Amino acid sequence: MPTVLYFGDEARAAGWRLAGVACHTPVDAQTLLQLLSSLPEDCALVLIEADQAARLPPGFAEAARRRLSPLFLELPAPGQADPAELGRRVQALLGMDT
């Protein structure tokens, strides 16, 4: 089964863990980069919170989004986007948009 990884804070990671997602809560940019540089071979989807993505070097997130695998999805901070918009973004990434 393909792996889904979440990078964010501990409070939101608890919810993702309940859904069976492997979670990481890196406390600094260096740890985050190490984790993203050593993704498992079967990783299909990387979910990263906006505050974690902001720690990445310029261009890193954009380059990750351009790769075909794994899919790289930056999650907006709470209150910044409605769930329907997030659903549309996921569908677009998967090529399911209409």
Residue that is written with structure tokens 């608890």 in the block: 14
pLDDT at position 66: 81
Distances (CA, A) of 38 to 23, 28, 41, 42: 14, 16, 9, 12
Q: Which residue has the higher pLDDT, 64 or 10?
A: 10
Q: How confident is the model at residue 68 (pLDDT cuts 50, 70, 90)?
A: confident
Average pLDDT, the chain: 86
% of the chain residues with pLDDT over 90: 39
Tokens (6 digits) for 50: 């906006």
Q: Are 65 and 72 in contact (CB under 8 A)?
A: yes
Q: What is the pLDDT of residues 10-39, one digit of tens each?
A: 999 999 999 999 999 999 999 999 999 888
